[in-house]
């Protein structure tokens, strides 16, 4: 039982007056970015487990400020561009490439570089929802797809060239191949 009820401060001319006094909730502290697994170090080959590129083997570059991992295919080898990936959706293998010479451009080491701008997202969803009229669509659907910005292409080129410099053919074939399980293979019994 509250002896003195603290009423919320309201403007007398408001259209809406809250019925109960709900104190404004304080925003809690921002959680720290996820701790990077010890098995994931720059240059580690990772196996992506979900998303468009599931099964692909990619090279880990660095952890972004949000905690997500920055990886690259390299693009020329397996079609995976500079991309963010969550370490929960990843298996770290014991294969490590030398990425000491790789210098990720400063702007490409931020999360904002990889965030889809709202306008592009709208276009993408529009094209995806076109489903019913696909057969009769007279306009070119691919025209709705936004072009990859030049900064992305340049960053990709710079990073991939440095990675592929000392890589031998068998490693390239390894990165090109997709991971899959065969009969009798059990991930909890396998060493990666």
Partner 1 sequence: MVFTRFVEVGRVVLINYGPDSGKLATIIDIVDQNKCLVDGPSTGVARQVISFTRIALTDLTVKIQRNAREKTLNKAWEEADTLNKWESSSWAKKLSAKKKRASLSDFDRFKVMVARKQKSEILSKKMAELEA
- Residues at the site binding partner 1, with contacts judged by CB under 8 A: 45, 47, 57, 93-95, 170-171, 173-174, 177, 179, 189-192
Q: How far is the CB of 24 from partner 1 (least distance, A)?
A: 52
Rounded to an integer, what distance in angstroms lies between the CA atom of residue 189 and that of residue 192? 10
Beta carbon nearer to partner 1, 19 or 190 = 190
Which pair of tokens denotes residue 150? Answer: 């030049």
Q: How far is the CB of 148 from partner 1 (least distance, A)?
A: 30
CA-nearest of 74, 99, 60 to 172 is 74
Beta carbon nearer to partner 1, 45 or 102 = 45
Beta carbon nearer to partner 1, 47 or 68 = 47
Beta carbon nearer to partner 1, 10 or 177 = 177
Q: Where are the beta strands (DSSP E) in 33-187?
A: 44-48, 57-63, 69-72, 83-85, 90-96
Q: How far is the CB of 188 from partner 1 (least distance, A)?
A: 12
b/e 164-180 (16+ beta carbons within 10 angstroms → b): beebeeebeebbeeeee
Q: How far is the CB of 53 from partner 1 (least distance, A)?
A: 16
* Cβ pair 95, 45 in contact under 8 A: yes
Q: 71 has which bridge partners?
A: 60, 83
Q: How far is the CB of 101 from partner 1 (least distance, A)?
A: 21
Backbone angles phi, psi at 88, to 5 degrees: -75, -20
Beta carbon nearer to partner 1, 45 or 163 = 45
């Amino acid at each position: 039982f509250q002896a003195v009820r603290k009423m919320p401060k309201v403007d007398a001319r408001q259209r809406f007056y809250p019925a109960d006094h709900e104190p404004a909730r304080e925003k809690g502290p921002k959680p720290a970015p996820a701790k990077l697994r010890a098995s994931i170090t720059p240059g580690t080959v990772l196996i992506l487990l979900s998303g468009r590129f599931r099964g692909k083997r990619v090279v880990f570059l660095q952890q972004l400020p949000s905690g997500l991992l920055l990886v690259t295919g390299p693009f020329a080898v397996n079609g995976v561009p500079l991309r963010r990936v969550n370490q929960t959706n990843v298996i770290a293998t014991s294969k490590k490439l030398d990425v000491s010479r790789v210098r990720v451009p400063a702007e490409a080491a931020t999360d904002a570089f990889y965030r889809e701008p709202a306008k592009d997202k709208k276009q993408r969803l529009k094209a995806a929802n076109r489903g019913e009229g696909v057969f009769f669509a007279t306009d070119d659907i691919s025209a709705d797809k936004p072009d990859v910005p030049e900064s992305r292409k340049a960053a990709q080129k710079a990073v991939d060239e440095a990675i592929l410099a000392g890589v031998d053919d068998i490693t390239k074939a390894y990165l090109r191949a997709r991971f899959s399980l065969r009969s009798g293979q059990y991930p909890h019994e396998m060493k990666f």
